[in-house]
């Protein structure tokens, strides 16, 4: 965000995006002040629409963004902005940095990628959204896996991800979430069941349904706390066994073997509690 913001295709009509090669001035309101920025559509193959705030006119806005989003300078952290239209070609920009979070939340703790680099993955808007989707879920020390499955589903829905999309017409296998060619599976289940997620990624890739898939699993510490809650609840119901849960360290140990079997690009993301 050092010089500009790319407008998602889903919002191009909302900002009344100009034709290819054209531009116009807009006003951005932020932090009690405002600047004049430029809304333009680049004359490239994709026809990207951008809000540009380069040069002397955009100094105050760039400095504000740099101050607000210090954590993002080190990589994707889930920080984001909201833009509201407040008049004709006038928009209010509100920042949601990590520093403003005053409650415990889930966060993306680590990434592992195969067949695609971090930089290549982050070029896709849905991938850049995932840390913010995860961070939207508050941490509850008394909640079990069903709570987090539901909360993450609600968060993905809020960010306009489609749910339960069939990965291939011939089989009754559905993805948890999908958006613009990025498939996401959230796995808080038994350690033996997560291999099916790799199968989904492979089938979706072969069928050209997706660009690549991402598997979200809890960190070892987060999984341990969820398992403790699960065991206590199972015992309260008279059950004497609890099947356990997949976690990132198990996936890490097996990752090299999975990459020998599955040649499509995919990744695994560890979800934990902030400050874990």
Q: Does domain 4-99 match CATH 2.60.40?
A: no
Mean pLDDT by 10 residues, the chain (276 residues): 80 90 93 93 83 90 82 63 91 78 83 92 89 90 90 92 88 90 90 86 89 94 88 76 80 94 94 82
Distance CA 39, CA 85 (A): 14
- pLDDT tens across 141-173, in order? 888 888 999 999 999 998 889 999 888 888 888
Task: Return the CATH number of the domain spanning residue range 106-273.
Answer: 3.40.91.20
pLDDT at residue 254, as a whole number: 94
Tell me the two tokens of residue 36. 């004049």
Tell me the HSE value of 107 on the side-chain side, using a 13 A CA sphere.
18
pLDDT digits (tens, 9 = 90+) for 64-94: 888 887 656 555 566 788 899 999 999 999 8
CATH 3.40.91.20 placement within the chain: 106-273
CA distance 207 to 198: 14
Phi-psi region of 180 (alpha: psi -120 to 50; beta: other; left: phi over 0): left
Q: Range(s) for CATH 2.40.330 in the chain?
A: 4-99
Q: In the block, which residue shows the tokens 């902030």? A: 274
pTM attached to this predicted model: 0.73
Q: Measuring CA to CA, which residue among 110, 82, 111 is closest to residue 95?
A: 82
């Amino acid at each position: 965000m050092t010089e500009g913001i790319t407008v998602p295709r889903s919002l191009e009509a909302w900002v009344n995006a100009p034709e290819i090669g054209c531009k116009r001035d807009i006003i951005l309101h932020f932090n009690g002040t405002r600047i004049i920025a430029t809304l333009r559509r680049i004359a490239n193959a994709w026809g990207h629409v951008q809000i540009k705030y380069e040069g002397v006119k955009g100094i105050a806005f760039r400095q504000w963004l740099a101050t607000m989003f210090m954590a993002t300078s080190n990589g994707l952290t889930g920080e984001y902005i909201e833009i509201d239209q407040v008049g004709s070609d006038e928009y209010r920009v509100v920042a949601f940095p990590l520093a403003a979070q005053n409650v415990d939340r889930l966060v993306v703790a680590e990434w592992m990628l195969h067949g695609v680099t971090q930089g290549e993955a982050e070029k896709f808007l849905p991938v850049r959204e995932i840390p913010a989707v995860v961070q939207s879920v508050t941490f509850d020390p008394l909640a079990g896996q069903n709570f987090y499955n539901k909360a993450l589903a609600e968060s993905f829905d809020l960010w306009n991800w489609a749910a339960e999309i069939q990965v291939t017409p011939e089989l009754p296998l559905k993805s948890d979430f999908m958006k613009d060619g990025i498939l996401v599976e959230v796995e808080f289940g038994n350690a033996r069941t997560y291999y099916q997620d790799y199968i989904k990624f492979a089938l979706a890739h072969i069928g050209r349904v997706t660009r690549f898939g991402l598997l979200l699993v809890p960190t070892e510490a987060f999984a341990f706390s969820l398992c403790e809650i699960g065991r206590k609840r199972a015992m309260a119901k008279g059950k004497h066994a609890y099947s356990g849960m997949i976690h990132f360290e198990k996936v890490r140990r097996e990752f090299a073997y999975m990459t020998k079997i599955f040649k499509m690009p995919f990744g695994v993301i560890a979800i934990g509690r902030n400050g874990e």
